[in-house]
Amino acid sequence: MAITRLLVANRGEIALRIVRAARQQGIESVLAASAADRDSLAAREADRVVVIGPPPARRSYLDAKLIVHAAKATGCDALHPGYGFLSERAHLARLCDEEGIIFVGPRAETIDAVGDKLAARRLAAAAGVPMVPGTAALADAEAAVAAAETLGYPVVTSASAGGGGRGMVVAFDAAQLTAGFTQASAEAQEAFGDGTLFLERYIQTARHVEVQTLGDGRGTVIQFGERDCSIQRRYQKMVEESPAAILPEDLRQALHAAAVALLAGIGYRNAGTVEFLYDVERRCFYFIEVNARIQVEHPVSEMVTGRDLIGLQLAIAGDGAALPVTQRDVVVAGHAIEVRVIAEDPDRGFAPSPGRITRWRPPSGPGIRLDTAMHEGAVVSPFYDSMIAKLIVHGADRADAVARLGDALAAFEIGGIPTNLSLLRAIACHPDFVANRFDTRWLERTVLPVYSARKVS
């Protein structure tokens, strides 16, 4: 069944991105917006807007029944959840199924299967995908210490129910593990409603590499290359690029094959990302998790493949037929880098900085793309995530892309609120970044101490 009217159940740049992708396919869009977003850029471009509740997300974007009701009331035959909010909640997918609404994403049972990290590890093991040595669920800190003696230190706690750095504590000895376990479990409980933790051996010199995929739900999965997302602060990604220039070609092919095998084995449907750690010293990779949704950083994959991943999502969900592209059609060309522009103040402990944007002068030109819903006069709301734009550049190779990124960041002007632009500029011109010489802890270990000290001096 072809999609004719789509409820966009999200906000900001991803909502605008989905609205525009729907328009290109002749699909009418209805934006489900909170009261805070009723006059947003996405609301202006959507064919229709329905206000689903007040600004707090728990009373609007996080209310699955309310969102599905909005879809039914406006005659939508499909719903796209974007990323974040309810995008990986099987409950939303089930409600859509019950109401005869096409959910633009994986099946509910698939979301359940990969949403629990321990269950996902079992699936990866069954598919023969390499994994970081780890444990089953742990009852308490005492059990964790006993398991760590077998695994060997350092170890890291992981929350079974979710990621994003919640519930993660690195321990180099039993004292650190004992002290951090209860805190990590409480953090996971608060974030995911489940405090279950397990342990993994901590890879000290690692790159975070992930594979972008699309599946037809019947066993065919294709990949759109990999992304290197190693520049992180508190396990939150700040810079992403494609391809991962550090990978030897044989390992790149093996990484792609592992991701495809894992998802094909469970009949994966729609967009998904399989995440890995690349051990730089041992030159091997390990499975981390599956993200059953489109990712924030999907534009870098679009830039190097020339494929519209949101459009492909809609095509797969709409007709339920075979993928409209084959693996042979997907060719990676050049190099792309994305940075997340965030309304936060690095000089005040990265505190969010909501407020009105009084100056907005984004860069433009060949090889530059900006995904944003901001403009001069727009208000950054205090109710939601503080990312306000994604700046993406494309070059003939990594060196070309890095140079273009530096130029684009230098030209970007935002006034009225503090942002992280100065930190992004410091990253882009750092010799380690230019030389592709960093790991997942590089930013916190090398850049942030120097960046913070500049104010003191």
DSSP-assigned letters across all residues of 62-97: T-HHHHHHHHHHTT-SEEE--SSTTTT-HHHHHHHH
CB 120 within 8 A of CB 324: no
Fold for 206-456, please state it. D-amino Acid Aminotransferase; Chain A, domain 1 (3.30.470)
Output the pTM of the full model: 0.94
At how many degrees (to 10) do helices 117-126 and 108-115 cross? Answer: 90
- pLDDT for the residue numbered 318: 81
361, 366, 371, 376 alpha-carbon torsion, rounded to 10° = 20
Angle 342-346-350 from CA coordinates, rounded to 5°: 70
Q: CA–CA distance from 354 to each of 235, 296, 421 (Å)? A: 23, 20, 15
Catalytic residue from among 293, 340, 398, 404: 293
pLDDT tens-digit series, residues 104-131: 999 999 999 998 889 999 999 999 999 9
For the question of residue 293 being annotated catalytic, the response is yes
**CATH number given to 5-104:** 3.40.50.20
- pLDDT for the residue numbered 320: 67
CB 157 within 8 A of CB 143: no
Q: What is the C-alpha separation between 159 and 167, in angstroms, rounded? A: 5
Residues in Cβ contact with 157 at an 8 Å cutoff, skipping those fewer than 6 apart: 144, 167, 168, 169, 171, 177, 180, 181, 184, 185, 197, 198, 199
155-159 vs 197-201, strand pairing mode:
antiparallel
Fold for 133-201, please state it. Dna Ligase; domain 1 (3.30.1490)
Q: How many residues can be counted in the chain?
A: 457
List the domain boundaries for the chain: 5-104, 133-201, 206-456
Q: CA–CA distance from 5 to each of 22, 37, 51, 64 (Å)? A: 9, 20, 17, 19
pLDDT tens-digit series, residues 367-391: 999 999 999 999 999 999 999 999 9
Q: What is the C-alpha separation between 52 and 133, in angstroms, rounded? A: 45
Provide block-wise average pLDDT over 10 residues at a time, the chain (457 residues).
94 98 97 97 98 96 97 98 96 97 97 91 92 91 94 93 81 94 90 89 94 95 98 94 97 97 96 96 93 97 98 88 90 98 95 97 98 97 97 98 98 98 97 97 94 66
- pLDDT for the residue numbered 235: 87
- pLDDT for the residue numbered 455: 60
CB 89 within 8 A of CB 192: no
- pLDDT for the residue numbered 1: 74
- Computed on alpha carbons and rounded to an integer, the radius of gyration of the chain in Å comes to 21
